[in-house]
């Protein structure tokens, strides 16, 4: 008879990791909302709920209106919109924080169950979480963190014990492919695990059988993502993005060492190089294969650094545990699951239901004060704006307004983005975009080149200005002549034009 899971009240290392990660994220909760794409994910989720179908054409921008486009994270978008529209953005932050804390707590428990000492498990897991903060944003890749670890863990169990520990992975890949394009990482893990298992010992019958199971599951995992609303089109979309548009996105650029959390990646690399000198323990071939593959991918793209941290953790613990495990029984967790993470989650979710606010959008980052002024402008007036604000316009404007551009680089292409950037700096491409797209409104940061150019241009009127953004409206010809006369020969701008702000009574 199978044993029922035992729950304990004594705090352990996994509970400590859960608490540290949870508190750290909640203290800095607004940083989860500091991504340009978070808004448009919610807007698309509302469209999916309204129409009952996934997007196949772009409806968010007027520059790419009805252009073919695939939403590789449609299930996440639908879920995000459901949470935000029912309980608010704070609830989404709370759920994301709990999910991340649970992931790293489970990771610590897994290391301890594998024989790592509690102290080393604590250090390695917190280190991995700190590296992960590079990409702690309210986006669908957070699900990739969880699916990634599940896949990695199943492959590790298959390598050690055989059987059918990886049998669940095709189903995992179906779920993964419908929430994020990062499902390709699952194929990398299974493929790496198969090769690593093949080179990890003698070529006996048990190893051949296990390798055949890896190969079979890899094939099923390759086919499973086809169970999605777009079929094989999803593979084409993700492939085109990785091969092309990813180069336009900052998070896909190589690691810039010496900056921010990337210093932690440097520390891991130094530990992997230096510790074999002081420890009698060595990383086995299986863990080394995963560490090398994901180290390469992390060096190529900073986006993969959190996944590298998850992949290297077992091998790093293996190397570090030698000199510190004196007198330790291996730290195996025999006491069952702790009740405290579940109790903490219940308290936080109860707080969400009671309206407690855990985080919000940073007013120093997002131009929220200007949204009422923008909402008062005619809906047909076309808007040029900062790329990072595209999702905000698409999601939060009332009535719903189309944006000029957002951060879906694969939709716009390299040449269009380069022309946009030139115009944003106030260069000659501005006139071409203004006339081609019939731009009547401009909403940008006060310090950008285009803002300085339009401030000195009498054909543009300032509707709103604050430290974060400045909103311009294009004047009619008669207004322009009057403004030019008022400015005089000196070109100075009258105070009435600089301080005009449109306010809306009883905004949303």
Contacts of residue 1, Cβ cutoff 8 Å, sequence gap at least 6? none
User: Strands (DSSP E) along 305-444, which ranges?
Assistant: 337-338, 382-385, 439-444
At residue 356, the pLDDT reads 87
Q: What is the mean pLDDT of residues 318-323?
A: 72
pLDDT bucket at 498, cuts 50 / 70 / 90:
very low
Least confident of 71-75, 247-251, 271-275: 247-251
At residue 487, the pLDDT reads 54
Q: Which tens digit of pLDDT belongs to each residue from 10-44?
A: 889 999 999 999 999 998 878 899 998 999 999 99
How far is 462 from 420, CA to CA, in rounded Å? Answer: 21
Phi/psi at 476 (5° precision): -70, 165
At residue 281, the pLDDT reads 74
How far is 461 from 278, CA to CA, in rounded Å? Answer: 68
How far is 3 from 336, CA to CA, in rounded Å? Answer: 11
Structure tokens at 157: 């169990």
pLDDT bucket at 311, cuts 50 / 70 / 90:
very high
Q: Which tens digit of pLDDT belongs to each residue from 214-231?
A: 999 999 999 999 999 999
Least confident of 101-115, 160-174, 484-498: 484-498
Domains in the chain, CATH or no CATH each:
8-347 (no CATH), 368-498 (3.40.50)
At residue 505, the pLDDT reads 34
Least confident of 64-68, 213-217, 361-365: 361-365
Sign, CA dihedral 47-50-53-59, equals: negative
Q: What is the mean pLDDT of residues 227-254?
A: 77
Work out the percent of the chain whose per-residue pLDDT is above 70: 83
At residue 370, the pLDDT reads 95
Structure tokens at 440: 């009547």
pLDDT bucket at 332, cuts 50 / 70 / 90:
very low
Strands 439-444 and 382-385: parallel
Work out the percent of the chain whose per-residue pLDDT is above 90: 66
At residue 5, the pLDDT reads 54
Contact 317, 262 (CB under 8 A): no
Q: What is the mean pLDDT of residues 71-79?
A: 96
DSSP category for residue 492:
P
More confident residue, 490 or 468: 468
At residue 359, the pLDDT reads 84
More confident residue, 325 or 268: 268
At residue 276, the pLDDT reads 66
Phi/psi at 502 (5° precision): -85, 130
Q: What is the mean pLDDT of residues 38-64?
A: 96
Structure tokens at 41: 């994910």
More confident residue, 53 or 253: 53
Q: What is the mean pLDDT of residues 172-195?
A: 97
pLDDT bucket at 481, cuts 50 / 70 / 90:
low
The answer, yes or no, to whether residue 47 has pLDDT greater than 80, is: yes
At residue 413, the pLDDT reads 85
CA distances from 102 to 5, 114, 132, 356 (A): 17, 18, 14, 21
pLDDT bucket at 499, cuts 50 / 70 / 90:
very low
Q: What is the mean pLDDT of residues 384-412?
A: 94
At residue 460, the pLDDT reads 96
The answer, yes or no, to whether residue 63 has pLDDT greater than 50, is: yes
At residue 335, the pLDDT reads 47
pLDDT bucket at 239, cuts 50 / 70 / 90:
confident
Least confident of 124-128, 356-360, 371-375, 441-445: 356-360
pLDDT bucket at 242, cuts 50 / 70 / 90:
confident
CA-based end-to-end distance of the chain: 58
Contact 309, 152 (CB under 8 A): no
At residue 244, the pLDDT reads 60
The answer, yes or no, to whether residue 336 has pLDDT greater than 80, is: no
At residue 30, the pLDDT reads 85
CA distances from 388 to 58, 146, 224, 333, 395 (A): 18, 27, 34, 46, 13
The answer, yes or no, to whether residue 451 has pLDDT greater than 70, is: yes
């Amino acid at each position: 008879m199978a044993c029922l899971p035992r729950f304990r009240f004594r705090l352990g290392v996994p509970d400590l990791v859960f608490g540290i990660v949870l508190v750290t994220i909640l203290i800095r909760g607004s940083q989860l909302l500091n991504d340009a794409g978070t808004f448009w994910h919610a807007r698309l989720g509302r469209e999916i709920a309204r129409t009952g179908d996934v997007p196949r054409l772009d409806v968010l921008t007027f520059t790419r209106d009805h252009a073919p486009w695939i939403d590789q994270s449609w299930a996440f978008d639908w879920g995000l919109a459901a949470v935000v529209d029912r309980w608010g953005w704070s609830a989404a932050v709370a759920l994301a924080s709990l999910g991340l804390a649970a992931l790293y707590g489970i990771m610590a428990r897994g290391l301890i169950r594998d024989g790592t000492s509690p102290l080393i498990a604590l250090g390695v897991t917190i280190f991995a979480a700190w590296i992960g903060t590079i990409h702690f944003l309210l986006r669908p890749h957070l699900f990739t963190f969880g699916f990634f670890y599940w896949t990695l863990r199943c492959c590790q169990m298959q390598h050690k014990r055989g059987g059918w520990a990886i049998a669940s992975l095709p189903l995992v890949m179906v779920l993964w492919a419908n929430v994020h394009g990062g499902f390709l990482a699952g194929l990398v893990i299974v493929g790496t695990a198969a090769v690593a298992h093949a080179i990890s010992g003698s070529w006996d019958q048990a190893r051949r059988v296990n390798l055949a199971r890896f190969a079979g599951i890899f094939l099923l995992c390759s086919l499973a993502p086809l169970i999605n609303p777009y079929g094989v089109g999803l593979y084409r979309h993700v492939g085109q993005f990785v091969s092309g548009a990813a180069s336009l996105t900052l998070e896909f650029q190589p690691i810039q060492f010496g900056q921010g959390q990337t210093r932690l990646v440097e520390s891991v690399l130094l530990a992997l190089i230096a510790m074999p000198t002081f420890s009698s323990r060595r990383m086995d071939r299986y863990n080394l294969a995963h560490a090398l593959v994901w180290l390469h991918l992390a060096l190529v793209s900073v986006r993969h650094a959190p996944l590298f941290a998850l992949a290297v953790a077992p091998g790093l613990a293996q190397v570090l545990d030698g000199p510190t495990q004196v007198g330790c029984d291996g730290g195996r967790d025999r006491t069952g699951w702790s009740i405290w993470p579940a109790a903490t989650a219940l308290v936080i979710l109860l707080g969400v239901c009671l309206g407690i606010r855990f985080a919000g959008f940073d007013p120093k980052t997002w131009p929220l004060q200007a949204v009422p002024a923008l909402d008062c402008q005619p809906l047909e007036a076309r808007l040029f704006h900062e790329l990072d604000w595209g999702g905000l316009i698409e999601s939060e404007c009332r009535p719903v307004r189309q944006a000029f551009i957002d951060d879906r680089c694969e939709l716009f292409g390299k040449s269009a983005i380069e022309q946009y950037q030139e115009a944003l700096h106030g260069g000659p491409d501005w006139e071409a975009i203004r006339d081609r797209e019939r731009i009547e409104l401009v909403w940008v940061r006060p310090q950008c080149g285009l803002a300085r150019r339009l401030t000195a241009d009498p054909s543009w009127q300032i509707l709103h200005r604050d430290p974060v953004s400045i909103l311009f409206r294009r004047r009619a010809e008669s207004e322009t002549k009057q403004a030019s006369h008022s400015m005089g020969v000196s070109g100075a701008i009258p105070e009435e034009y600089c301080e005009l702000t449109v306010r809306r009574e009883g905004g949303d």
